[in-house]
Amino acid sequence: MTSPQTTESTDVLLIGGGIMSATLGVFLKELEPGWDVMLLERLDEVGAESSHVWNNAGTGHSALCELNYAPQAPDGSVDPSKSLSINEQFQLSRQFWASLVAEGKLDDPSSFINPVPHMSLVFGDAHSDYLRRRYEALKPHKLFERMEYSEDREKIAEWAPLTMHGRGAGRVAASWSPEGTDVDFGELTRQQVAHLRSRGGVVRHGRQVVDLDRQGDGTWVARVKNRLNSEDHRLVRAKFVFVGAGGGALHLLQKSGIREAKGYGGFPVSGLWLRNTDQTVASQHNAKVYGQASVGAPPMSVPHLDTRYEHGRRALLFGPYGGFKPNFLKQGSFLDLPRSVRAHNIYPMTRAGLANLDLVKYLLGELTKSKRQRVEALRQFYPTADGSQWELVEAGQRVQVMKRDPQKGGVLQFGTELIAAADGSIAGLLGASPGASTAVPIMLNLLAKAFPARMSGWESRLKELVPSYGVKLDDHPDLADEVMGRTARVLGIG
């Protein structure tokens, strides 16, 4: 890269044009309209990597159907705490989106969110007994009060006809929640970025940040490569930097040199979907149906048969089928993984890798599957599926967090990790699921970490945008009815 000819300055620099940067950018423009905000995206459009409609499941993750959020203890009991936490977080996202729609800052909500019931579907005695116990643990809570459970095949067929037609003998159990949603996070990203730009935010495509240097005055200078014009490389000086570059975040946080990023590594997981856009088939299924993960499979590889919406058109998606590529972004480099190894993270990465050999075995097995084998997996959920109607599409890359652990040396974490410098001048996000669905609570957490002195002054506007901010809805049933009812009406998902 040649020496930059131009230096620009901004109050806030957002690196990456996905749902996280878009959400933070809108928050900051609502809270501090006078601040200069610049967003840089390496591709030629925003929302084109992990946020893209076909690069993720589009599930509004609220723990209504995702079994891994309610683990079963050795004694058979089910702990609902993580499910409650995930649902509370998604309610914050719903409120923020509803507020932006009500204020005319987002388009018709059906362009990015649609009502799609969430189901869990399991087979056999052991899994059915677990699902019943899960239902019994969640049902008493306000956020799960509409959940239903059944082992009646006719009832399950009423909820999701394709899952029962042609099914053989054996015990089947399902839970069903009518308030589930399908979300096009790519479209939501684009609309939020458009709003950010309308409020004076600077948005540039084809710009890749290749280095970050801390200055003596506490600001940061980003070295920016113009991927569209080699004559226009430049420097950007910022008071605050957010590294929301998805799989590219780890490299930049490492280059920043902040102590808080030491010891972190990444394990990339790729995936494939089977997709059916035949409207005669898609019109027969309106649900996101999640099952149990295979032994050794990561939580993000839980099989599910989903209704998806893109620009109002319904399609079906099944998968994901796990895989492995060393690149950290779908449009990244095969050298991403080896380039991420540092002296400070090689030990925790090695320890985490040795402790997860079953995951490696699972991913290698997934890579060798034929389409016929993949269709056989689909038929566990849709027994009469015609394989010729389904096409194989590549999902987005996910980079799981590998980090130090005092007992184990290193662990592989299937979640998101917010990393922030002690002085609050830079922050970044690592990890994946539940990811996009919890962008709002993650960014609220970031605001509190990066701008603690400003939070009291921002509280009034934050509560306008997110009415239950600071309150657990499950502990306040009247507020829950009011807030959930309002968001359902505004977003058209009631």
Asked, for residue 1, whether it belongs to a domain, the answer is no
Q: Residue 2's pLDDT band (boundaries 50, 70, 90)?
A: very low
* Assigned domain for 297 exists: no
In a domain, 299, yes or no: no
Closest CA to 486 of 22, 19, 109: 109
Total domains, the chain: 1
Radius of gyration of the chain (CA): 22
Render pLDDT for 227-286 as a digit per residue (tens, 0 to 9): 988 888 899 999 999 999 988 999 999 999 999 999 999 988 888 999 999 999 999 999
Q: Considering the domain boundaries, does residue 190 fall inside one?
A: yes
Structure tokens at 84: 């409650």
Cβ-Cβ contacts under 8 Å for 291 (sequence gap 6 or more): 67, 120, 121, 122, 123, 302, 303, 304, 380, 381
Q: Report the alpha-carbon distance of residue 137 to residue 446 in Å, rounded.
A: 31
Q: State what percent of residues in the chain have pLDDT above 70.
A: 97
pLDDT of residue 296: 55
To the nearest 10 degrees (0 to 180), the angle between helices 185-198 and 19-31 is 30
CB count in 10 Å sphere of residue 489: 12
Which residues make Cβ contacts (< 8 Å) with residue 311, sequence separation at least 6? 111, 187
Domain assignment present for residue 283? The answer is: no
Q: Could you tell me if residue 380 is inside a domain?
A: no
Asked if residue 126 belongs to a domain, the reply is: yes
Express each pLDDT in 301-315 by its tens digit: 689 999 999 999 999
Taking only the tens place, the pLDDT of each residue in 100-121 is 999 999 999 999 999 999 999 9
Determine the straight-line distance between the first and last CA of the chain, rounded to whole angstroms: 52
266, 304 Cβ separation under 8 angstroms? no
Give residue 18's domain range: 6-265+410-475
Mean pLDDT of 29-36: 98
CATH number for the domain spanning 233: value is: 3.50.50.60
